[in-house]
Amino acid sequence: MTTYKPLPGYLAQRYHGWKATTHRENQAWYRRLAEEGQRPREMIITCCDSRVHVTTMFGSDSDELFIHRNIAALVPRYAPDGGHHATSSAIEYAVSTLRISHLIVLGHSQCGGVKSCFDMCAGHAPDLEQKASFVGRWLDLLREGYDSLPTELGGEAACRSLERKAVLVSLENLMTFPMVRSAVDAGEMTLHGLWADIAEGGLEAYDAEQDRFVPV
């Protein structure tokens, strides 16, 4: 009985502020959203990192972005093996049921997940090597990205490069999902790879023709 406590006061206070202003002023719209269901145009797969504030970055309102977050914004390959696949289920729902038009993978600078993968692959994070480490096993998805890093890169530069590679690995893995491939091939949906610079507020998009990230 002592495990679950009331919501911290500061959060309750912020909630009541939102309810009394934004929600009250748009109540009919919220009711319509509740009746008609969501119709987001984009799905964004991004990192759990609290500094990646996608709704603020894109000025989005309710019903605009279907957001899925995980450690380092990684997408696994299509694997219909009966396991508990949170990311894959979100992708399936967004593509097959919501029929989103744009599927965006958004990585970011100073990503702790990517840094952990870098340390693990370099042999500096034995805890993450453990079978019982959920984070470590999740970050195995990015080992191929680490293995493809130019050997001359080190430290910060290598991490920045691996952050962008993580986006590309996720985009490639997305295309192993039959529903993603068929929506892309039919011209019903497009894939986009982005990388956000936390400190500078920068945003880069992957340009397939140039095979590099370019500023938006």
Positions in the binding site for Zn ion (CB under 5 A): 47, 49, 111, 113
Q: How far is the CB of 73 from Zn ion (least distance, A)?
A: 7
Q: Of 23 and 160, which has the nearer Cβ to Zn ion?
A: 160
Q: Of 42 and 163, which has the nearer Cβ to Zn ion?
A: 163
- DSSP bridge partners of 19: none
Q: Of 91 and 111, which has the nearer Cβ to Zn ion?
A: 111
Q: How far is the CB of 182 from Zn ion (least distance, A)?
A: 30
Whole-angstrom distance between the N-terminal and C-terminal Cα of the chain?
Answer: 51
Q: Of 55 and 190, which has the nearer Cβ to Zn ion?
A: 55
Backbone angles phi, psi at 137, to 5 degrees: -70, -35
- Asked whether the beta carbons of 157 and 151 are under 8 A apart, the reply is no
- Give me the residue label for tokens 């990230």: 213
Q: How far is the CB of 127 from Zn ion (least distance, A)?
A: 18
Q: How far is the CB of 10 from Zn ion (least distance, A)?
A: 25
Q: Of 15 and 134, which has the nearer Cβ to Zn ion?
A: 134
Q: How far is the CB of 44 from Zn ion (least distance, A)?
A: 14
